[in-house]
Amino acid sequence: MAGDATAIGDAIGLAVKRLQQTEGSARVLILLTDGNDTNSLVPTDRAAKLARDNGIVIHTIGVGDPAAAGEEPLNETSLKELATTTGGRYFRALDRAGLEAIYDELDRLTPRQVETLTHQPRRELFHWPLAAALCLSLFYQLLRVLAVMLADRRRADDRKAVAETRA
């Protein structure tokens, strides 16, 4: 996954390529997603068949609400088909405790020590506090300029008043 779009088919294709290079009899992929493939070049069903043909089992974990409005709802049908095609199982995580129970079940299904690779996309947010600091700095400088102008005007008015009283 990179960015706002989800590329499930592409991710499965990359995982198949990576798992082909590993040794061992059990090749398992755990897919935690809402099941909506919004940006893949490889269709999900084709990627699932590729995984099956390479002896890779995909267990899918669905997260999200199937009745969500305003966002992509959980696509359980797609996740169930993906798991079934590869000989895996579908799970639905309703909360953190449920997700932990699912991982415990997966550990029982395929107990094996493996090296994990994770990726957490980053979204740069530094520009918001930077913009706020810049705005505050500009506002402060504007207040200083106004204060100097006001002080100059008062001095000029005071000089004018003194000159008028002497005259």
User: In this predicted model, what pLDDT tens digit does every residue of 97-133 receive, in sequence order?
Assistant: 989 999 888 888 876 666 777 777 778 888 899 999 9
What would the mean pLDDT of 52-62 be, rounded to a whole number? 90
The more confidently predicted of residues 159 and 115 is 159
pLDDT at 134: 96
Query: Based on C-alpha coordinates, what's the Rg of the chain?
Result: 31
Contacts of 35 (CB under 8 A, 6+ apart): 8, 60, 62, 64, 74, 75, 76, 77, 78, 79
pLDDT at 70: 62
pLDDT at 139: 96
Domain ranges of the chain: 8-109, 126-167
Of 15-19, 39-43, 90-94, 140-144, highest mean pLDDT:
140-144
Q: Tell me how far apart the alpha carbons of residues 4 and 145 are, in angstroms, rounded to a whole number.
A: 44
pLDDT at 1: 41
pLDDT at 2: 45
The CATH topology of domain 8-109 is: Rossmann fold (3.40.50)
The more confidently predicted of residues 69 and 82 is 82
Place of tokens 């600091």: 133
Please report which helix (H) or strand (E) contains residue 136, including its range. Answer: helix 127-166
Q: Are 13 and 47 in contact (CB under 8 A)?
A: yes
pLDDT at 152: 93
pLDDT at 63: 87
The more confidently predicted of residues 92 and 39 is 92
Place of tokens 């506090």: 129
Written in H, E and C, the secondary structure of 43-102 is CHHHHHHHHHHCCEEEEEEEECCCCCCCCCCCCHHHHHHHHHHHCCCEEEECCHHHHHHH
Mean pLDDT of the chain: 85
Beta-carbon neighbour count of residue 31 at 10 Å? 21
